[in-house]
Amino acid sequence: MALAEDKGAIGRFRLFGIDIRINASWLVIAVLVAWSLATGALPEVYKGLSAGGYWLMAALVVLGLALSIIFHEVAHTLVARAFGMQVDRITLFLFGGVADLKTEPPSALSELLMAAAGPAFSLVASLALAVAAGVGQAAHATSAAAALAYLATLNFVLAIFNMTPAFPLDGGRVLRAILWMITRSADRATRIAASVSGVIALAMIGFGLAGVLLGHGVAGLWWVLIGFFLRTAVHGYDVDLKARRALEGVSPALAMTSPLETVPAAATLDEFVEGRVYGSRHKVYPVMLDGACVGTIEADAVLSVPRAAWATTTVGDICAPPPATIEAGRELDAAALLVRMREQGLNHMLVLDEGQLVGMVTLDDLLKLVDVELKFRPPPRLKAA
């Protein structure tokens, strides 16, 4: 699974060299799950415990679930890395966990093994937890045994649910890998899998709405949310894949802002607004001092300075440090540049030639280039496995 740049992380740590992030939405769902378990599900199944005992069991289950999801995604990541794919981050969020896959699988087999690794781990974990629960029950460790048994069930459900053949779930990638093997075309397999995912997402939404009408409010709404999440995710994946396909092999020079307009560091903000903001209406400008680029300034940055100070404040006073750069003429294509900008959270990059500024590429430029490539370039040949 893949997720866009996470800006709501409330905690992070590293495991096997992988950046693990906890999104604020996971904390919300963890509290709700713990409350639901401690006040409802657990007392119904395991009777006779104190309120504190139920809350302790609930806390153990939530912690164990978090670890289960993390190791589920770690399994994906380790297999992906074995095949040369780049995965730098795993995020816990509202609907579980995602491993942020930066590159597409190189073959159908690599995708199949990577996608199956997570559910396989969950099934093994479910069996191990069930055995541990039996040992705990025999040792009369009732609360611990109950928590382990519940975790065993959750891991089994996690494995089965993730094998639903819909993106971005693991089953969706397994389906695409199998279709890729059959059709020998990654693009055709993606289109078919995306269509299947859309149908499943609509079915989930319909099932959830029916549940709401029949009085199963919370459960029904949960299915509706999952359905909308899947529809949004598969659409985002399709758009992202089309963009990367359109930019593969395309020189970043075609996306460079032209003409490149710079602003002297010594220019006042009044001069900058009159001469550049009104004149050309670009969003960002390189800032030059003695022939060298010393930073960039976005038009909106001026608004952070009181208007009365525009006449005495220079662009150099408020410009941002130079962003990441690329060297002109390198083998980096526009698709790789788009991925790099997303990874680093940048909306523009400077293009240098032997240390001298020769251009700038913005995300807007890349998106416009995608539009042109999709409209006017001949469709690429379908890629074989």
Cross-strand pairs, 277:
none
Query: What strand order describes the sheet that includes 348-353?
Result: 325-327, 348-353, 356-362
What structural domains and CATH numbers belong to the chain?
1-163 (no CATH), 164-244 (no CATH), 252-376 (3.10.580.10)
Cβ-based neighbour number of residue 209 at 10 Å: 15
Q: What is the pLDDT of residues 142-194, one digit of tens each?
A: 677 878 888 899 899 889 988 988 877 899 999 999 999 999 988 788 888 88
The tokens of 195 are what? 């269509």
Q: How far is the C-alpha of 220 from the C-alpha of 78, rounded, in Å?
A: 35
Amino acid found at 186: A
Task: Give the model's pLDDT for residue 10.
Answer: 63
The tokens of 271 are what? 């001069």
Please provide the average confidence, as pLDDT, over all residues in the chain: 82
pLDDT tier at 381, thresholds 50, 70, 90: very low
Give first-to-last CA distance, the chain, whole Å. 21
Q: For 91-102, b where at least 16 C-beta lie within 10 A, e where not — what string?
A: bbbebbbbbbbe
The tokens of 385 are what? 């496995």
Q: Which residue has the higher pLDDT, 97 or 152?
A: 152
Q: How far is the C-alpha of 218 from the C-alpha of 152, rounded, in Å?
A: 24
Cβ-based neighbour number of residue 351 at 10 Å: 23
Q: Which residues are catalytic?
A: 73
Task: Give the model's pLDDT for residue 5.
Answer: 44
pTM score > 0.75 for this model? no
Q: What is the pLDDT of residues 316-333, one digit of tens each?
A: 999 988 777 776 655 577
The tokens of 281 are what? 């209406």
Task: Give the model's pLDDT for residue 3.
Answer: 41
Listing DSSP states for 99-163 in one string gives EEE-S--SSHHHHHHHHHHHHHHHHHHHHHHHHHHHHHHHTT-HHHHHHHHHHHHHHHHHHHHHT
pLDDT at 247 over 60: yes
